[in-house]
């Protein structure tokens, strides 16, 4: 009877900071928990359609309607 192979997961990459430990600790201590929670709540809100992550509106005139293409392909056989 064969032994089942144990599948090991690759180790996670080390967590790296591009700053000294004392600076990171100062920033962590100086962070307001209310501000952190406000940012978490803000990121969970659903963004309105037609906006990009940068906050710019998408130009609706320049967007190709893929639904229209699919309908034409289905109806015209192309």
Which DSSP string corresponds to 8-61?
A: PPPPPPPP--SS-HHHHHHHHHT--HHHHHHHHHHHHSPPPTTB-TTSPBP-GG
* Between residues 45 and 65, the one the model is more confident about: 45
Binning pLDDT at 50, 70 and 90, where does residue 78 land? low
CA distance 26 to 6: 43
Calculate the alpha carbon distances from 25 to 5, 16, 21, 22, 48 in Å.
Answer: 43, 14, 6, 5, 37
Give the residue-averaged pLDDT of 17-33: 86
What does the pLDDT read at residue 17? 72
What does the pLDDT read at residue 9? 80
- Give yes or no for residue 14 having a pLDDT over 80: no
Residue with tokens 């000294």: 20
pTM: 0.32
């Amino acid at each position: 009877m064969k032994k089942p192979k144990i599948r090991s997961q690759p180790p996670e990459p080390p967590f790296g900071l591009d700053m000294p430990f004392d600076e990171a600790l100062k920033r962590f201590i100086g962070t307001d928990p209310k501000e952190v929670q406000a940012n978490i709540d803000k990121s969970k809100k659903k963004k309105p359609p037609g906006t990009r992550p940068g906050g710019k509106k998408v130009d609706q005139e320049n967007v190709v309607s893929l639904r229209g293409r699919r309908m034409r392909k289905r109806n015209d056989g192309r």
